[in-house]
Structure 1
Amino acid sequence: MTLSMKNISKSYQDGDQIVEVLKNVSLEVVQGEFVAIVGPSGSGKSTFLSIAGALLSPTTGEIEIGGTELSGLSGKALTKIRLDKVGFIFQGANLIPYLHIRDQLLLIAELAGNRGGQARQKADRLLKELGLNSRARNYPESLSGGEKQRVAIARALMNNPDIILADEPTASLDASRGHKVVQMIAEEVKRNNKAAIMVTHDERVLDLVDRVVRIEDGYLK
């Protein structure tokens, strides 16, 4: 099992009240599976994705990524899990404005301790696969929205993660570019036997996923 979330709850203290964002949710995603999480704003989608990617700890419940149980791990160990096992694609590409496109990818490898020729070859291969090899020496400001999202996909795949997590990856794109971006994620899932979860409001891309799960009022349905 690539991702296993069992009986996950998340609550916050808001003054005198306890606000429950997630309520006893469970989800398993296997290798080669692409799952979409849909639901209204405020339903807990982003919190769910943050917990799935070890960015946020649940109040109760268990989460396992790539065979590693996360509860009780130190902050340093969780950082390593995020670098080694999880690839994030955020709503905005979140590229570093002063780094060339190729260097955006090499930075991820360097953070994980992977330097040298192998990392450079991996970056070049990903850029070529995603049609960005001619843009390798460009800065983000010169790229279109679709190109930036493709860079974000390449960056997410740089360390060969077990699971890909995408948060509204089509939000800033038109229908055609959005569909292409999600299609690229779907192809990567199948080609390299990854697991992926995408939070989305965009029903136009749901034909590309294997399973759709709805979240409402903190419950998975």
Structure 2
Amino acid sequence: MSTQLRLDNVSKIYGAEDTSVKVLKDISLEVKAGEFVAIVGPSGSGKSTFLSIAGALLSPTNGTVTIGGQEISRLSSQQLTDIRLQKIGFIFQSANLIPYLTVRDQLILIGELAGMKKSHSKKKATELLSRLGLGHRLHHYPESLSGGERQRVAIARAWMNDPEIILADEPTASLDSERGRDVVHMLADEVKSRGKAAVMVTHDHRMLDLCDRVVHMEDGKLSVS
């Protein structure tokens, strides 16, 4: 399988030289297509910073990031935006749905931003939501959904641009154990059936058996269990 995400000797330092804080310390990680990797570790260990750098939201102080075979450190802001739209799907702890858009329109917006025709966006959004058991919720607004339904909408939205990489930050934090496991099952199934690469930051060790590999982060360093 091809490598979809690669970080080589990545460090992130905040602050001036005399008061600097090194949040990430020479991290290297490779994630292949079809692989689901979990990152665990205590709060403040650098997990969210890692995901932001892996998702082209934040630049490393040192090291390189390669996404889909393209090294991104010298890309412009617009090129990085295009990378995020075309190659990366984000799932956050909170579903972060837009309150004034219906369930289907949440996905249609992403499709249009990624350059799809509206007719294609509508069709794809309907198919994705139906696949996740939300076909009866297409025209509902976020306030009328349960926590589990909102998170499933967020997953469908992350899949809308058919990304090569899925990055999930505590996707089960607001869900009970049963619904949380359902969400992670959906992620794992998508990774395997469609050859995606996925990285999930989680505190929920009950979900780790669904992942191919578990990586521990502590004090800005990675270690494989």
2:157 pairs, out of 145, 155, 177, with 155
Answering whether residue 109 of structure 2 is matched by residue 104 of structure 1, we say no
Per the alignment, residue 195 of structure 1 pairs with 197
Root-mean-square deviation (CA, aligned residues, Å) is 0.9
1:97-120 CA-to-partner distances (Å, cap 9, x unmatched) read 000000000000111121232221
Per the alignment, residue 117 of structure 1 pairs with 119
**Once superposed, which parts of structure 1, at least 4 consecutive aligned residues long, lie more than 4 Å away?**
none
1:204 pairs, out of 203, 206, 209, with 206
CA distance in 1 between counterparts of 2:135 and 2:112 reads 20
CA distance in 1 between counterparts of 2:96 and 2:119 reads 26
Per the alignment, residue 33 of structure 2 pairs with 31
Answering whether residue 61 of structure 2 is matched by residue 59 of structure 1, we say yes
CA distance in 1 between counterparts of 2:153 and 2:117 reads 19
5+ long unaligned stretches in structure 2: none
Letter aligned with residue 69 of structure 1: E
Identity of aligned residues (%): 67
Per the alignment, residue 75 of structure 2 pairs with 73
CA distance in 1 between counterparts of 2:68 and 2:192 reads 17
CA distance in 2 between counterparts of 1:182 and 1:63 reads 26
Letter aligned with residue 12 of structure 2: K
1:144-187 CA-to-partner distances (Å, cap 9, x unmatched) read 00000000000000000000000000000010000000110000
| SS in structure 2 at match of 1:2 | strand
CA distance in 2 between counterparts of 1:195 and 1:113 reads 22
Deviation at 1:15, TM superposition (A): 8.4
**1:171-186 equivalence runs, <5 A:** 171-186=173-188
Deviation at 1:214, TM superposition (A): 0.2
Answering whether residue 39 of structure 2 is matched by residue 41 of structure 1, we say no
Letter aligned with residue 66 of structure 2: E
TM-score by structure 1 length? 0.98
CA distance in 2 between counterparts of 1:156 and 1:24 reads 29
CA distance in 1 between counterparts of 2:30 and 2:87 reads 16
CA distance in 2 between counterparts of 1:101 and 1:115 reads 18
Deviation at 1:67, TM superposition (A): 1.4
CA distance in 2 between counterparts of 1:67 and 1:136 reads 36
CA distance in 2 between counterparts of 1:112 and 1:180 reads 28
Deviation at 1:16, TM superposition (A): 3.6
1:137 pairs, out of 139, 147, 168, with 139
5+ long unaligned stretches in structure 1: none
